[in-house]
Amino acid sequence: MIQILSYTPFWRRPHQGLGLLLLLAFWPLGRLVAAPAEGGVQLGASRFLVDSFNQYTYRQVLALPDGAWTNTYTPLHQGSLWVRLPLENSSPQPQEAFLQLGEIPLMQLYLPRPQGVDSLLSGMFVPIDARSFAHHKPLFKLQLAGGEQLSALLRLDSQNRIGLPRQYSPLLKSGASLQRDQEIRLLTQGLFFGIILVMAFYNLLLFVAVRDVSYLWYVLSILGIGLYFFFYYGFSLQTIWRQQPLWNAYSFALIVPLTNLMRVMFTKTYLHTREQLPWLNRFLNGLALLCFVPMVLGLAAYWLGLPWYELTIDATGVLGTLVLLSMLLAGVLMYLRGYTPALFFIVANLLFVLGANMFIIKEMQLVADSLFTRYVVQLGVIAQVVLFSLGLAYRLKKARQQEAEHLLALARLEHEKEQERKELAEQQKAELEEKVHQRTAALQEKTEELQAAVLKLQESEEGLRQLNKIKDKLFSVVSHDLRGPVATLDSFISLITKHAAHISAEEMDKLSHKTRESVHNLSFLLDNLLNWSRAQMGTLTFKAQPVALAELVQKNVALYQLAAESKKLSLVPDVPKEALVMADRGMLDFIVRNLLSNAIKFTPAWGTIKLIVQEEGDSLQLQVSDTGLGISPAHLQRILDPDDTFSTPGTARERGTGLGLMLCQEFLALHGARLEVRSEPGAGSQFFFSLPRALPAPVSAAPDSSLQLG
């Protein structure tokens, strides 16, 4: 049994001495692991036939002489390579093995058997469903009977796109080994993709929260790394491009440069190179433009069928190396300038570079294959992602702290400005207040002079107003209360003048007596009115004395008897002779006379007017009631208003001034009494008031006008 190694990666080729740097760009070739052959199937020494123009068929190759075959070959960049591959099952039992030959565009394996030739198909550019064994790697499944020996023919076709490897390195694996590799692949890559997606989602949430574009570029770069390993481990071929293996093979030319572009943009925004290092920012801009070169090469090679596959790989590797070195350089420069978050940036990139170097050393067969060496580059990616995320979080914290300090400084500055504004405002206020005080003092002096003048004018005006008011009231009272006596006197004089010849001496004496009485009463009334006007002017003093109500009422009934008879009214006095009250005689006489005059005025013919005095505890109530028209509630409220001279015509169209009741209320107020009214429209009215009793004493019945003058 022989030991078979994977084919030599391109960086060990003499014309491509990029070594460690090129793998930093995620080199997509050279992934077969050295391992001993397994099981009973063995490979013999191979011989080669170069077919540069793809001119031979299987049968033509079989017919070629043995001298046409060689033990070595020159690497091809076009055409095909035929390989005579001896196979032997040294076990007496049937054996199954899997033949792996590396990333060859197209492979055909011919197994001659007694019943015919088995033709198997595989290769990078062959759809998975068209391969003899559906696997993400180009494999051939071999089944040999116990002790069976075969001389298989293998055709390796470059498809004029990818040069065939310099060293032919087949590898046989058992089914158990292949299954174990598949399980490890699914487990490790599942964990890796899960971590990548979680970190991408976490940073995407940060971007949504803070709207910092560096988070977005970082999320895109994380997704680019995950997408590359999705391609690297064959998941894209198994799931997305099952029927487009050619496009899948060239997709790295888009994935890796775009990921590098995202890394460049992340570096620019994370480290703020535009503001801090403009020259480095310009260099990174140029590097970002160079990221489109591998994309153009790859797309041209894919669409035009050009043999630029390896050139695209080399360009992608060199560019990836430049990007990583530039990121390290930018991080170091920014850290030296005092930008603390750059430390996370440096450490994260160093870990990724160390992981990539270990991966390269393993691929170069300098260390034994193990899970660590196989997946160390992805561990470096995870460490880089975690540290970058921590760096972004620290940067966010730092930015918020700086923002808080900035806001605090602005608040402090605003506070200082506010204090200055307040001090200036206080100073201006003090100056303004001083000016206002001076102006106010001058205005105050002028105002006081004007107020003194206005006060004098107001006093004069008030005096004139009171005089006019007294004058108006006096004229109203005179016109109101003199009308009755004058009318009576006029009636007597007319009767005597017109009927003197027909009047007897006795009747003449009686009329003369009544005429003298009317003149006397008129004189008495004028005297009382004069006294009232003096009281209004403050020259009359109220004087209460015992007054006999019977005499006072009888006198006023006699005064208005003729007026009542002329309207066919009955005057009915009901006053006890001993009724005495404490009152001002003249004012009380005026009140009774006014109430009696109003009752006659508003009582229709054949009505009755009563003057009644009733006891009410320590007081006597004097009531003047009639069977007249009555008073509505609205009119009742107005006639009792001391400031309203409301008046309506009587039943015989008698006129009045409306001042009688007002004067009655004023006089009663001086007695400490109040005029009250009960009335209903159509049911007559009752005017009444109460005065305190007086001690019994003889009282003269004659009118007394001896009011005290002030």
Higher-scoring residue by pLDDT: 634, 614: 614
Place of tokens 């394996």: 109
Q: CA–CA separation, 189 vs 226, rounded Å?
A: 10
Place of tokens 């006008």: 705
pLDDT of residue 222 exceeding 70:
yes
Assigned token pair, 259: 């990921």
Q: What is the mean pLDDT of residues 413-430?
A: 89
pLDDT at res. 661:
80
Higher-scoring residue by pLDDT: 201, 648: 201
691: β partners: 620
155: β partners: 82, 108
Please choose, from the candidates 27, 69, 22, 46, the residue with its C-alpha nearest in 3D space to the C-alpha of residue 167: 46
Range name among 127-141, 185-199, 376-390, 511-525 with the lowest pLDDT average: 511-525
Contacts of 622 (CB under 8 A, 6+ apart): 549, 553, 581, 592, 611, 612, 613, 688, 689, 690, 691
Mean pLDDT of the chain: 80
Helices (H), strands (E): how many in the chain? 20, 20
Q: What is the mean pLDDT of residues 443-449?
A: 85
Assigned token pair, 330: 């930018």
Q: Are residues 136 and 64 in the same domain?
A: yes
Q: Are residues 88 and 202 in the same domain?
A: no
Place of tokens 């009639």: 626
pLDDT at res. 35:
38
Q: Predicted confidence band at 164 (pLDDT cuts at 50, 70, 90)?
A: confident
Q: Are residues 380 and 254 in the same domain?
A: yes
pLDDT of residue 528 exceeding 60:
no
- HEC profile for 160-194? CCCCCCCCCCCEEECHHHHHHHHHHHHHHHHHHHH
- C-beta contacts of 91-94 below 8 A and 24+ residues apart: 91/39, 91/40, 91/146, 91/147, 92/146, 92/147, 93/40, 93/146, 94/143, 94/144, 94/145, 94/146
pLDDT at res. 635:
79
Query: Does residue 457 fall inside a structural domain?
Result: no
Name the CA dihedral angle for 358, 363, 367, 369, rounded to a multiple of 10 degrees.
100
Query: Does residue 288 fall inside a structural domain?
Result: yes
- Residues 683, 629 contacting (CB under 8 angstroms): no
- Residues 564, 600 contacting (CB under 8 angstroms): yes
Q: Are residues 242 and 196 in the same domain?
A: yes
- Residues 171, 6 contacting (CB under 8 angstroms): yes
Please choose, from the candidates 263, 228, 290, 231, the residue with its C-alpha nearest in 3D space to the C-alpha of residue 349: 263
Q: CA–CA separation, 127 vs 135, rounded Å?
A: 10
pLDDT at res. 538:
65
pLDDT of residue 481 exceeding 70:
no
pLDDT at res. 458:
81
Burial class (CB in 10 A: 0-12, 13-18, 19+), 397: exposed
108: β partners: 121, 155
Query: Does residue 245 fall inside a structural domain?
Result: yes
Place of tokens 């992608």: 316
pLDDT of residue 560 exceeding 50:
yes
Q: Predicted confidence band at 37 (pLDDT cuts at 50, 70, 90)?
A: very low
3-class DSSP assignment, residue 79: coil
pLDDT at res. 513:
65
pLDDT of residue 412 exceeding 70:
yes
Q: Are residues 345 and 204 in the same domain?
A: yes
Q: Predicted confidence band at 592 (pLDDT cuts at 50, 70, 90)?
A: very high
Higher-scoring residue by pLDDT: 288, 28: 288
Range name among 12-26, 497-511, 628-642 with the lowest pLDDT average: 12-26
Q: CA–CA separation, 93 vs 144, rounded Å?
A: 9
Quote the number of domains for the chain: 3
pLDDT at res. 121:
94
Q: What is the mean pLDDT of residues 561-582?
A: 89
CATH classification at residue 393: 1.20.1070
Q: Are residues 677 and 555 in the same domain?
A: yes
pLDDT of residue 12 exceeding 50:
no
Query: Does residue 531 fall inside a structural domain?
Result: no
pLDDT of residue 589 exceeding 80:
yes
pLDDT at res. 27:
34
pLDDT of residue 208 exceeding 50:
yes
Please choose, from the candidates 591, 607, 572, 603, the residue with its C-alpha nearest in 3D space to the C-alpha of residue 671: 591
Q: CA–CA separation, 209 vs 47, rounded Å?
A: 65
Q: Are residues 119 and 255 in the same domain?
A: no
CATH classification at residue 139: 2.60.40
What is the per-residue pLDDT across 47-106, written as a single tens digit (0 to 9) for each? 999 988 888 999 999 889 988 899 888 876 788 899 999 999 988 899 899 998 888 889
pLDDT of residue 699 exceeding 50:
no
Can you list the alpha helix ranges (DSSP code H) found in 233-370?
235-239, 245-250, 252-271, 273-276, 278-290, 292-304, 309-336, 342-363
Quick check: pTM over 0.85?
no
Contacts of 645 (CB under 8 A, 6+ apart): 476, 657, 658, 659, 662
Task: Please provide the DSSP assignment of 620-660 as one string.
Answer: EEEEEEE-S----HHHHHHHT-TT-------TT-----S-H
- Residues 79, 52 contacting (CB under 8 angstroms): yes
Amino acid identity of 442?
A
Q: What angle do CA 91, 139, 153 make, to 5 degrees?
A: 70
pLDDT at res. 293:
93
pLDDT at res. 31:
35
Range name among 46-60, 165-179, 624-638, 692-706 with the lowest pLDDT average: 692-706
pLDDT of residue 265 exceeding 90:
yes
Higher-scoring residue by pLDDT: 79, 580: 580
Q: What is the mean pLDDT of residues 607-617?
A: 92
Counted residue by residue, the chain has a size of 710
Q: Are residues 138 and 239 in the same domain?
A: no
pLDDT at res. 10:
32
Please choose, from the candidates 288, 277, 369, 408, the residue with its C-alpha nearest in 3D space to the C-alpha of residue 332: 277
- Residues 122, 139 contacting (CB under 8 angstroms): yes
Higher-scoring residue by pLDDT: 526, 457: 457
What is the per-residue pLDDT across 621-656, written as a single tens digit (0 to 9) for each? 999 999 988 888 877 777 777 666 566 666 766 655
Can you list the alpha helix ranges (DSSP code H) found in 19-107?
20-23, 58-63
Q: Are residues 212 and 65 in the same domain?
A: no
> How do 608-616 and 570-574 pair as beta strands?
parallel
Burial class (CB in 10 A: 0-12, 13-18, 19+), 615: exposed
Query: Does residue 295 fall inside a structural domain?
Result: yes
82: β partners: 49, 155
pLDDT of residue 704 exceeding 60:
no
What percentage of the chain carries pLDDT values higher than 70?
A: 80
pLDDT at res. 686:
92
Amino acid identity of 494?
S
Backbone angles phi, psi at 15, to 5 degrees: -85, 0
pLDDT of residue 3 exceeding 70:
no
Query: Does residue 345 fall inside a structural domain?
Result: yes
Q: What is the mean pLDDT of residues 343-353?
A: 79
Query: Does residue 424 fall inside a structural domain?
Result: no
Q: What is the mean pLDDT of residues 197-203?
A: 83
Which of 406, 427, 449 is where one domain is finished?
Answer: 406
pLDDT at res. 622:
94
H or E segment at 380? Answer: helix 371-481
pLDDT at res. 485:
65
Domain that holds residue 88: 3-173
Which of 388, 406, 424 is where one domain is finished?
Answer: 406
Higher-scoring residue by pLDDT: 292, 523: 292
pLDDT at res. 492:
73
Question: What's the Cα-to-Cα distance from 462 to each of 454, 465, 579, 584, rounded to whole Å?
Answer: 12, 5, 43, 29
Q: Are residues 333 and 252 in the same domain?
A: yes
Q: Are residues 290 and 190 in the same domain?
A: yes
Q: What angle do CA 203, 207, 210 make, to 5 degrees?
A: 130
The total of other beta-carbon atoms located within 10 Å of residue 489's CB is 18
Q: What is the mean pLDDT of residues 486-504?
A: 72
pLDDT at res. 16:
32
Q: What is the mean pLDDT of residues 297-303?
A: 90
What percentage of the chain carries pLDDT values higher than 90?
A: 20
Q: Are residues 370 and 231 in the same domain?
A: yes
pLDDT of residue 698 exceeding 60:
no
Query: Does residue 439 fall inside a structural domain?
Result: no
Range name among 136-150, 377-391, 439-453 with the lowest pLDDT average: 377-391
Assigned token pair, 281: 């920012």
**Cα end-to-end distance, the chain, whole Å:** 159
Q: What is the mean pLDDT of residues 542-553?
A: 91
Query: Measured in whole angstroms, how far is the alpha carbon of residue 433 from the centre of its chain?
Result: 43
Please choose, from the candidates 195, 194, 216, the residue with its C-alpha nearest in 3D space to the C-alpha of residue 205: 216
The total of other beta-carbon atoms located within 10 Å of residue 110's CB is 20
Q: What is the mean pLDDT of residues 226-248?
A: 89
Which of 119, 141, 173 is where one domain is finished?
Answer: 173
pLDDT of residue 475 exceeding 80:
no
Question: What's the Cα-to-Cα distance from 7 to each of 13, 30, 101, rounded to whole Å?
Answer: 11, 7, 8
pLDDT at res. 53:
86
H or E segment at 583? Answer: strand 580-583
Q: What is the mean pLDDT of residues 610-629?
A: 92
Q: CA–CA separation, 615 vs 372, rounded Å?
A: 132
Question: What single DSSP character describes residue 286?
Answer: H
